[in-house]
Amino acid sequence: MLVNLKEILQMAEEKNIAVGSFNTPNLESLIAIISAAEELDVPVIIQFAQCHEPWIPVSVIGPIMVEHAKKASVPVCVHLDHGETLEYLQQALEIGFTGIMYDGSVLSYEENLANTKRAVEMAAKYNCSVEAELGSMGKRESGAGDGSGEEDDTKIYTDPVQAKQFVEETKIDALACSFGTTHGIYLAKPQLDFDVVKNVRAQTGNIPVVMHGGSGVSKEDFHTGIKAGVRKVNYFTYMDKSGGNAAAEYVNSLKENEPKFYSSVVLAATEAMKENVKEAMRTFALLDE
């Protein structure tokens, strides 16, 4: 069942849980995620990030995502993650995405504000909801960035007072906040400031807060963040890693002269991603409390 971002976040708000938002830059991850959501009977967000364009074009995977969402037995939002240009956002809207994120976090506040307003105007024509970002997690969605080593001095935590002004002027449906998480593999235990989440919610009239860089965060910290007001958790790196590890384990288990079939590798990777995603979904929906 295809729904938009605002609708699925309202479901999370009513239950005081978070919805998992998983990147699907290939068919295997898409199948793993939707089947996991259907087995657990939880809503889910499938998303595609602009930085994954070299892996597969959104023009190819996007329509497949939309069709799978329509056929799913649970509510599914098809979301554009970290859209960096308005032109790319327009492409996702025309494909049928029901949520878009404009990421102007590397721009000045004024440029981010102006472009986000434009994104909201564009999305309204398609009954699509908008997420935006205020602050910076340092590393970009790909896991690369200016930070190096265990500490990332390029992080800029979201200012709740500035968030109030930003939300009021843009009319966005969700806000990605920087409160200590990082994209990619964690090099050290993240130091999360949940007061940022609480204060952003208080200042903005309880806008749904989005946690980026969710992979590698402890179950306890997820629960704390959700109770503080996180309603969407982006999760990809550790899911992707689980698939890669399963594929490697399968290949290594074969005898030296035993034939190696790609289809068998894919099945092993898909099943591993599905189990990893189910564990994350249980955490986000507080099913494991």
- Evaluate whether residue 123 is within a structural domain: yes
What pLDDT sits at residue 145?
42
pTM: 0.91
Band of pLDDT at residue 180, cut at 50, 70 and 90: confident
Contact indicator for 123, 93 with CB cutoff of 8 Å: yes
What pLDDT sits at residue 136?
73
Distance between CA atoms of 97 and 115, rounded to whole angstroms? 19
Residue 193 belongs to domain spanning: 5-284
288 is catalytic: no
Band of pLDDT at residue 144, cut at 50, 70 and 90: very low
280 to each of 28, 45, 267, how far by Cα in Å?
17, 13, 20
- Evaluate whether residue 289 is within a structural domain: no
Looking at the structure of the chain, the number of domains it has is 1
Does residue 225 carry a pLDDT above 50?
A: yes
Band of pLDDT at residue 142, cut at 50, 70 and 90: very low
- Evaluate whether residue 139 is within a structural domain: yes
Band of pLDDT at residue 125, cut at 50, 70 and 90: very high
Band of pLDDT at residue 190, cut at 50, 70 and 90: low
Higher per-residue confidence, 185 vs 5: 5
Least confident of 136-145, 234-243, 264-273: 136-145
Contact indicator for 276, 242 with CB cutoff of 8 Å: yes
Residue keyed to tokens 């793993």? 32
Residue keyed to tokens 């946690």? 211
What pLDDT sits at residue 183?
55
- Evaluate whether residue 35 is within a structural domain: yes
Point out the catalytic residue in the list 41, 81, 103, 193.
81
Distance between CA atoms of 179 and 137, rounded to whole angstroms? 8
Residues 6 or more apart whose CB falls under 8 angstroms from that of 16 comprise 226, 227, 286
| Residue-averaged pLDDT of the chain | 91
Band of pLDDT at residue 53, cut at 50, 70 and 90: very high
What pLDDT sits at residue 182?
66
- Evaluate whether residue 252 is within a structural domain: yes
- Read off the CATH number of the domain in which 26 is found: 3.20.20.70
276 to each of 27, 55, 91, 139, 147, how far by Cα in Å?
16, 22, 31, 23, 28
Band of pLDDT at residue 213, cut at 50, 70 and 90: confident
